[in-house]
Amino acid sequence: MKLRSPFFFITSLLLALLLGGCSPQDAATPASTVKREVSLPVVAAQAKGFSVGALMSANVVYVFFDTQCPHCAHLWEASAALHKKVKFVWIPVRMISPISLAQGAALLTAVDPAALMSEHEASLLAGKGGISASSSISSEIEKNITANTQLLNSFGAEAVPFVIAKNLKTGLTVTRDGAMSTTVLAEFLGMDQP
């Protein structure tokens, strides 16, 4: 029996981590035990996030994310190539760390949330923890992030990023958790390759 090389093992481990998602093992909010059907109209009506990409596009992709999730940062980078074709709504939740609330609030209230998100995700991926954010958060913004987290939990989602969209080819609502490459994301959305 031939043993696989350490390079193969390390590469496989890194790939699994890259394409995975962050789960709420030590979450501030436990996952709901009652699962409801994922509904685009419910997400559109109830979730509070910020929009990037083709703002006038009828094709909207909703991404629930935690600011401390490196998989979310990878998805942010992968989605950039699709911004000219699709509207993305990034919905902050608090699952991983108490700082997630403050950073999510900073993004929701930013004058240019896309620029701040890019800065944040670059810092997170560089191992610097993301943007610094004030712990002074309005009660309305805190309620919004708490409600976002509860909505995500109500769908039975077990990890972030959690993506909800309508597949352009099938017309069906599709969901997926974890990071994706640009090519896989485009395929998931039923789009032509970027």
Q: What is the 3-state secondary structure (H, E, C) of 155-171?
A: CCCCCECEEEEECCCCC
Per-residue pLDDT of 33-89, as tens digits, reads 456 789 999 999 999 999 999 999 888 999 999 999 999 999 999 999 999 999 999
Q: What dihedral do alpha carbons 173, 62, 55, 145 form, nearest 10°?
A: 150
Q: pTM of this prediction?
A: 0.84
Provide the H-helix boundaries in 63-174.
70-79, 99-109, 113-125, 139-154
The closest of 191, 91, 98 to 145, measured between CA atoms, is 91
Q: Whose structure tokens read 């989602």?
A: 157
The yes or no reply on domain 26-188 and CATH 3.40.30.10 is yes
Domain ranges (residues) in the chain = 26-188
Residues of the chain with pLDDT under 70: 1-21, 23-35, 194
Burial group, residue 125, by CB count within 10 angstroms (0-12, 13-18, 19+): middle
